[in-house]
A and B are shown apart, each in its own frame.
Chain A
Amino acid sequence: MNSTVDIGAWHEQWRTLLAALSSGPSAHGTPGLKDAGDAFERFAAGFAAFGAGREAGRPPAPDEVARAWAGFAEQCIGRVRPATALPGMPAPLVAALEEFARVQAAIAADIAQRFAARLTGPAAPGSLRAAFDAWIDCAEGAFRTAAHTDGFALAQARLLNELVALRARQQVQLERVSRLAGLPTRAEVDALYDAVRSLRAALAAPVSPVTPVAPAVRARAPRPRARKTAAAAKRPGPRA
């Protein structure tokens, strides 16, 4: 067993393993299973090296692990950038996406730092499952810390607001086309729904009794007055 801890190499082994597992048949037509098996062997050796390093008194420092894992965060942002380069995407949405990616990258770096400390600490996990659970603990801890900050809330809200704004613009364009085709717009349909709602409210009393509670109850159930005003009919309530 190699007791030299090379966290950068192990990080690469993780990526190779994940790539092999997700790639399916390789380009030359053979199943990717052997690739995955080979990748797993390399990954496992790297995983074991953590323990060997710790037992030999040379565990990797948490910040060393964090630096290596920060590559993941950079890749995340790297994936966002091509998406934001789509032609026609509104600049505020692009900015919101990038801002949220930065927030997530910071969380990813914090997760890495926490996980590295866990891996190299006295309560280091001894199995893949324990390592997974430890990673979840670290991830939730890092996320919870960030999620309670104003920066996270603002970035998330801004992204949601911009996505909704995009959806609203798409709807406006769609309704223009609909009008040309003689179709009712959503506003018109909604106005009809509102009218139906007002009529239902005007009826107010329970409808469709399936099992009568008691004749006296039904007879005395609240009903709108015959000459109720339209405004009052819109808000039936216990005032009657």
Chain B
Amino acid sequence: MTARAAPDALAREVAEFQRRLARSAATLAALPPVTLATAPREVVYRDGKVTLYHYTPAAPTHGGPPLLIVFSLVNRPTVLDLQPDRSLIRGLMAAGLDVYLLDWGYPDRGDRHTTLADYTTGYLHRAVAQLGERRGPIDVLGVCQGGTLALLYASLEPARIRRLVTMVTPVDFHTPDNLLSKWAQGVDVDRLVDTFGNVPGELLNAVFVSLMPFRLTLQKYLALIDGADDPRQLENFLRMEQWIYDSPDQAGAAFREFVTGYFQENRLARGTAVLDGRPVDLGRVTMPLLNVYATEDHLVPPAAARALAGLVGSRGYEEYPFAGGHIGIYVSSRAHVVPAAIGAWLQKGGASQPKARARRGAA
């Protein structure tokens, strides 16, 4: 240990820490309430608790088909437009795309019987129909679990989707590095859902935090002091906290299907998934497909996402690896490259070579 570890040096360090803590309290108290999802948008239609938004372009779009974003059921899509300078949605608009977002809303007790089929061949189908009836097959960007739902739908209705982009999307749930899947194996999901009805969002949050319990419950809050003098940094922190803990409850029936069928039985990768009574065959996903994954993803390991390459029948499959994590792909300082890459891929018409297995350059 160096001389800095002498008692007086440690005392000075603690005193300085206390001073920064006091300053950060003052800075936090002076901050206005943070807001998320500020990109201008309008409601196109509502379907129960589900809302279809259209983002108002600041400049003319390139005239391509609408791009419908399908987000996960687990968290809120506000992370896609966390703040103006860290916004996947604004990035897609800047790339000249006509962007729509399907917002699942907050399931309540009336949704405990809502199934994956309700979400995909019901809500998602009706949104696709809304957009597609006017302009033909549309582009779809499925994010995280939303990508899995988009794949299910695309396998059943391939003619309705012109091009598909999956982003940090789990496909093979049994890769060795999938900690969530390992933990799910022994859980009695039937008893959990039968008991709770809907699965509380707080429970899922606790699970996600417990994947890295020391960093996410201790270190990140202590590190907040480092930005004590920077209101902008504190605002960013608060936005992320607001998003993280804004967790919808999970509709019981859909949660049961997803955990048992996908986490526990890996039906998507094994080709045994059934939706709405119809078998899910990823070989029917024949449209051009861009698979965006994060190389440091601890929730959806790269291998879990990249398994898609061997399962789809896409006429042109490409991968885009992002050098970062599951959340960083939306909000990190480097994340702006992702919407630009998606926009470039869509504007060139998607991959053109049959069954191509191109791998685009990493971010």
Query: Which residues of A pack against B, CB within 8 Å?
Result: 1, 40-41, 44-45, 47-48, 50-52, 54-55, 119, 124-129, 132-133, 136, 139-140, 143, 147-148, 150, 153-154, 156-158, 160-161, 164-165, 167-168, 171, 186, 189-190, 193-194, 196-197, 200-201, 204-211, 213-214, 216-217, 220-222, 235-239
Contacts and interface: CB of A to CB of B under 8 A. Distances in A.
Contacts of A156: 183, 186
A213 B128 CA distance: 12
Contact of A237 (B114, B125, B185): B125
Contacts of B215: 136, 140
A119 B2 CA distance: 11
B47 interface: yes
Nearest to A119: B1
Contacts of B114: 197
A146 to B, nearest CB: 11
A153 B263 CA distance: 14
B195 A167 contact: yes
A48 B213 contact: no
15 contacts: A47-B1, A55-B1, A148-B179, A158-B186, A161-B191, A190-B109, A193-B110, A206-B46, A206-B130, A213-B130, A213-B131, A221-B126, A235-B117, A237-B122, A238-B129
Contacts of A50: 1, 5
B47 A206 contact: yes
B362 interface: no
A217 B126 contact: no
A213 B10 contact: no
Nearest to B194: A168
B223 to A, nearest CB: 9
Interface stretch (B37-45, B73-81, B281-289, B314-322): B37-45
Contact of A127 (B4, B157, B197, B222): B4
Contacts of B156: 237-238
B280 to A, nearest CB: 13
Contacts of A150: 182
B1 A54 contact: yes
Nearest to B6: A48
Most chain B CB within a 10 A radius of its CB, from A165, A171, A210: A210
B67 to A, nearest CB: 15
B122 A126 contact: no
A235 B121 contact: yes
A51 B5 contact: yes
B276 A153 contact: no
A192 B104 CA distance: 22
B191 A165 contact: yes
Contacts of A153: 182-183, 185-186
B126 A210 contact: no
A54 B2 CA distance: 10
Most chain B CB within a 10 A radius of its CB, from A48, A160, A237: A237
Contacts of B192: 160-161, 164
Contacts of A41: 7
B133 interface: yes
A222 B126 contact: yes
Contacts of B10: 44, 47-48, 127-128
Contact of A193 (B17, B109, B117, B187): B109
Contacts of B194: 168
Interface in B1-46: 1-7, 9-11, 13-14, 17, 42-46
B63 interface: no
Contacts of A194: 113
Nearest to A46: B7
B213 A201 contact: no
A167 B13 CA distance: 47
Nearest to B113: A194
B212 interface: yes
A133 B222 CA distance: 10
A174 to B, nearest CB: 12
Given A206-B130, A210-B46, A213-B130, A124 B111 contact: no
